[in-house]
């Protein structure tokens, strides 16, 4: 188990001590994809991405932003962070796929990957919730970190392929 940061010398779970780490600017971008059946995607495009529950993308952005700010309440060993920027976008990519991106930035001693992943995930879940009356065949997938900067090393998705 060497290399895992949330495990102590005895193999027990622990929060990482960031006390001696340098404060740096840290960013992360995560993505989630919501795939709709073709007829549902067409219906959503025609409605301007509105459902009976209201504006889908606007509601997803609010939910995702709230999730970013509460990540430390959801993921046991995440530190509470003073989020300085949170931007969430959602737009149709492939014909039936709504691509949700969440970008988060802080100046702190630990990264924001989990915040970006949580924001993208909750935004996607919100889209599902708002559209499930149209179909339960909606699929959420492709939740992944696209890039991160700051800390020990930067990361871009293509770098591991």
Residue with tokens 């935004």: 123
CB 107 within 8 A of CB 27: no
**Quick check: helix, strand or coil at residue 62?**
helix
Q: Is 129 a catalytic residue?
A: yes
C-alpha 159 chain-centroid distance: 20
What is the C-alpha to C-alpha distance for residues 131 and 44, in angstroms, rounded to an integer?
9
Orientation angle between helical segments 56-69 and 113-131, nearest 10 degrees = 150
Q: What is the 8-class DSSP label of residue 78?
A: P
The residue annotated as part of the active site, out of 10, 20, 96, 129, is: 129
Residues taking part in catalysis: 129
């Amino acid at each position: 188990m060497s290399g895992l940061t949330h495990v102590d010398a005895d193999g027990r779970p622990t929060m990482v001590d960031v006390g001696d780490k340098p404060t740096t600017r840290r960013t992360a971008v995560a993505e989630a994809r919501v795939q709709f059946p073709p007829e549902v995607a067409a219906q959503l495009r025609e409605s301007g991405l509105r459902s009976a529950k209201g504006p889908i993308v606007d509601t997803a952005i609010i939910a995702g932003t709230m999730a970013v700010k509460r990540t430390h309440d959801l993921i046991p060993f995440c530190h509470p962070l003073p989020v300085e920027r949170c931007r969430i976008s959602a737009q149709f990519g492939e014909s039936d796929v709504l691509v949700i991106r969440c970008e988060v930035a802080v100046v702190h001693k630990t990264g924001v990957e989990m915040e970006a992943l949580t924001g993208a995930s909750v935004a996607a879940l919100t889209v599902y919730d708002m559209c499930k009356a149209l179909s339960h065949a909606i699929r959420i997938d492709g939740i992944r970190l696209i890039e991160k900067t700051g800390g020990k090393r930067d990361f871009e998705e293509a770098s591991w392929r």
